[in-house]
Amino acid sequence: MRILNVMLWAVLGAALPASADEAMIRQVIESKLGGAKVEGVQATPVQGIFEVRFAGAEGTRIVYTDARATHIFVGEIIDTKTDRNLTEERLRRISAVSMDAMPYDLAVKVQRGSGKQKLVVFSDPYCPACFKFEKTLAQLDDVTIHYFMYPVIRPERTDHSKAAWCSADRAKAWLELAQEHKVPKASPGCDTPIDKILAYGRKLGVGSTPTLFLANGERVRGGVALAQLRSLMDEAGAKKGGK
Apex 98 CA angle, 93 and 99, nearest 5: 105
Write out the H or E segment, with its range, that includes residue 175.
helix 170-180
- pLDDT recorded at residue 21: 83
Residue by residue, pLDDT tens for the chain (243 residues) are 344 344 344 433 333 345 678 888 988 888 887 767 888 999 999 989 999 998 766 678 899 999 988 999 999 999 999 888 899 889 888 888 999 999 999 999 999 999 999 999 999 999 999 999 999 999 999 999 999 999 999 999 999 999 999 999 999 999 999 999 999 999 999 999 999 999 999 999 898 999 999 999 999 989 999 999 999 999 998 877 655
Range of the domain at 158: 99-241
Query: Does the predicted TM-score (pTM) go above 0.85?
Result: no
Residues 125 and 17 in one domain: no
Residues 63 and 139 in one domain: no
Q: What is the CATH number of the domain that holds 214?
A: 3.40.30.10
Given 63, 94, 125, which residue is the final one in a domain? 94
- pLDDT recorded at residue 17: 46
Residues 89 and 126 in one domain: no
Buried b (16+ CB within 10 A) or exposed e, 76-89: bbbeeeeeeebbee
Residues 8 and 23 in one domain: yes
Given 94, 125, 140, which residue is the final one in a domain? 94
- pLDDT recorded at residue 37: 86
Write out the H or E segment, with its range, that includes residue 49.
strand 49-56
- pLDDT recorded at residue 58: 65
Residues 131 and 27 in one domain: no
Q: Is 161 exposed, middle or buried (0-12, 13-18, 19+ CB in 10 A)?
A: buried
Residues 7 and 54 in one domain: yes
Structural domain tally of the chain?
A: 2
